[in-house]
Structure 1
Amino acid sequence: MDLLWSEGRLLVAGPDTRPYVPEGPPRSWTGVRFFPGTAPSLLGVPAHELRDLRVDLADLWPAARVRRLGDRVESAHDAATALEDIALDRAARATAPDPLLHRLVRRLDEGCPVSATAAELGVGTRTLHRRCLVAFGYGPKTLARILRLQRALALARAGTPYAESALRAGYADQSHLSREVRELTGMPLGELLGGG
């Protein structure tokens, strides 16, 4: 999930389960991406309520407060730093995210299967699914897919050949990675990585 600034507006990008392409003419965007599972406690809204949505922050928080924050970003020398400061200020006042979720993200990011991760964490798969909906906006299997894709893209961006990136991230082969990239991002692998 992201806190975004564009053309004088503060927006929240909820968790996506499909590609998102902004409509209208190109715009300048600045944003802060929250660590998986942390945004709901900072924003005060379960992630599943924002799944596949872009909403004005004023729809979630009092309008006067959002106006003050918008003025703060607008007058800042660097909008990205101002957004980060806003997120850090909010984090200092919010309740800490569920520590189990941080361990879940770490284990899934290491490629551990969902069922093994649930057993390791001492929770049932249904309980884990419910907690994931609140924290991430989707279930643990979707989270695992997204984390695996991020691992593969990081490897490819670092210069690892696509086929090796796919295997090291946990895909069967490069074509499996390519299908997943297209399904989750709406773009071919080479285009997403700027190579084609």
Structure 2
Amino acid sequence: MYEEAAPPGPLAGVARCVWRSASEGPKRIVPDGCLDLVVGDGGVFVAGPDTAAWSSATRPGVELRGVRFAPGRAPAVLGLAADELRDRRVSLRELWGRPGEELAERLLSGELSPAQAVASRLAEAPPPDPAVAALIARLDAGAARVAEAVTRPGASRAAPGVAAARVEDLFAVSERRLRRRFVQAVGYGPATYLRVTRFQRAVALAPRVPGLAALAAAAGYADQAHLSRDCRALTGLTPRAYFRGPSTVDETVRDRLRSA
């Protein structure tokens, strides 16, 4: 069993979803560009961001609950750069010492939900980096290359209101400085994030796009071989093996594709 729900109002823009999961066997978790706060099985920890698949195994009947942060938003809440958590599972006690241990006890007892724990820290969290947020949005929108996302002609003229301000912020930052800020916020560089989001797009599209060649084209890959390489790198499986199983894609990704 795996279920997702929209984040409660206080977490709008900070979290992608809240979720709960119970499994009788190992579950393959593939990279999605996000960090999660996870509660259950006697522990509280922060997971990700991942660059390759990992196996989550819990005892039969044990339920895990969590908050999946929107890309780039976890460091402000956690007080730690995302790249320091890349490919790691770190307990709250290790992150925050005694305060983390006290919060973990409240989460495990049910006194607080994961969403409430995150919400309790928002007042002290700094606002998102506008240049990083702009680049994330443009990569999520389906840019074929990072260079295209950074330098797309006419983008600042086409984007009204707040979007225009974000694009101006993007162009005002040097490429090297933007990349460093992106790595700290997301956990890895724009090229890796683009690779991850493109694969997540393929997973979301797979149920309604027949054939791997058509799926590769629909998701923005150069060809089927490109999809195959990324699938092996990110999941450890061939596309035929991976897409034959149940989807692990974030439901919110699928919802965005349906409304596009």
Tell me, yes or no, if the aligned pair for 1:36 and 1:136 is still in contact at 8 Å.
yes
Structure 1 residue aligned with 2:124, among 76, 93, 98?
A: 93
Alignment of 1:88-127 (within 5 A): 88-112=119-143, 113-119=145-151, 121-122=170-171, 123-127=173-177
Change (3 A) 1:172 1:119: closer
AA of the residue aligned to 2:222: A
Query: Could you say which structure has the greater relative contact order, defined with CA pairs below 8 angstroms and 6 or more residues apart?
Result: 1
The answer to whether the aligner puts 1:136 opposite 2:136 as a matched pair is no
Q: How many residues align?
A: 191
Change (3 A) 1:187 1:6: farther
Moved over 4 A (4+): 22-28
Q: What displacement does 1:191 show?
A: 4.1
RMSD (CA atoms): 2.5
Q: What displacement does 1:98 show?
A: 0.7
- Structure 1, unaligned stretches of length 5 or more? none
Structure 2 residue aligned with 1:14, among 48, 56, 79?
A: 48
For the residue of structure 1 that corresponds to 2:38, the secondary structure is strand
Q: TM-score, normalised by structure 1?
A: 0.84
For 1:6 and 1:170, locate their aligned partners in 2 and report how far apart those are by CA, in whole Å.
Answer: 37
Provide the residue aligned with 1:160 in structure 2: 209
For the residue of structure 2 that corresponds to 1:155, the secondary structure is helix
The answer to whether the aligner puts 1:35 opposite 2:35 as a matched pair is no
Provide the residue aligned with 2:236 in structure 1: 186
Alignment of 1:35-74 (within 5 A): 35-63=70-98, 65-74=99-108
**1:101-124 deviations in whole A, cap 9, x for unaligned?**
222111011222212322352133
Tell me, yes or no, if the aligned pair for 1:166 and 1:173 is still in contact at 8 Å.
yes
Query: Which one has the bigger helix percentage?
Result: 1
The answer to whether the aligner puts 1:174 opposite 2:224 as a matched pair is yes
- Structure 2, unaligned stretches of length 5 or more? 1-34, 153-169, 247-260
Q: TM-score, normalised by structure 2?
A: 0.65
AA of the residue aligned to 2:52: R
AA of the residue aligned to 1:87: V
Greater shift, 173-182 or 186-195, is seen at: 186-195
AA of the residue aligned to 2:231: V
